[in-house]
Amino acid sequence: MEYKKQGTFNKRNNFFRRPVEKKDFTYLVFNKPFGVLSQFTNKEGRPTLKDYIPVKRIYPVGRLDSDSEGLMILTDDGRFNQWLTNPNNKQPKTYLAQVEGIPNDEQLEMLKKGVIIEGQRTLPAKVAVIDEPKLWERIKPIRFRKTVPTSWIEITVREGRNRQVRRMTAAVGLPCVRLVRTAIANILLGSLASGKYSFIKRPVL
């Protein structure tokens, strides 16, 4: 990852002043639980990042829907935040999705090639059926339909459309009942417990 160096030109003294760069940025990963908003404030009293992360003056890199779980990155490095969230950089995001039904080859191929959402086709995705992963118990239990089996897929996308993975699986007839993000670029959730955070070194992307 490369940052463009920026500065200001002082016409009076005819020199270029480089910006003062902060070296000790903070980076942390957080395993967001179900129902938690990916922000630090909420006037309605809903659970937010503030209930779990006491570190001040850091900001989430992107968002994760309240009904989704898993990896979030937070930092006070504004340029890193902007670079990672810039859609032009197409950084991969990997999710574990529990879906209703058993995916067939046709449905998997549709997800891989991209599906139409609001008139636009999603970028090709990496998709694979996986065994049920060992995850933490969700705060709010999932309501299963006795007559409908569920299965798990791992899906990697390179876009950040609103509720994209849920909308993709629904579009091919596989409604998503649980969604957990496990990776952003080469930054992994690993074994971090739900509701916990951990400081990391500056990621090299």
Kindly report, residue by residue over 131-177, the tens digit of the pLDDT: 999 999 998 888 888 789 999 999 999 998 899 999 999 999 999 99
79 with 138, same domain: the answer is no
Residues in the chain where the model's pLDDT stays below 70: 1-23
- Whether residue 42 lies inside any domain: the answer is yes
58 with 128, same domain: the answer is no
50 with 116, same domain: the answer is no
Q: What is the pLDDT of residues 60-72, one digit of tens each?
A: 999 999 999 999 9
- Whether residue 6 lies inside any domain: the answer is no
pTM of the shown model: 0.87
Q: Structure tokens of 120? A: 């636009």
98 with 173, same domain: the answer is yes
When divided into structural domains, the chain yields a total of: 2
Q: How far is CA 16 from each of CA 5, 7, 11, 191, rounded to the nearest angstrom?
A: 12, 7, 9, 47
Catalytic residues: 65
Work out the angle at residue 93's Cα, subtended by the Cα atoms of residues 90 and 78, and round it to the nearest 5 degrees. Answer: 65
Residue 150's pLDDT is 96
- Whether residue 159 lies inside any domain: the answer is yes
49 with 72, same domain: the answer is yes
- Whether residue 140 lies inside any domain: the answer is yes
Residue 3's pLDDT is 47
171 with 112, same domain: the answer is yes
- The C-alpha atoms of residue 125 and residue 134 are separated, in whole angstroms, by 23
Q: Note the helical H segments in the chain.
A: 78-85, 105-113, 164-171
Q: Which domain holds residue 97?
A: 92-184
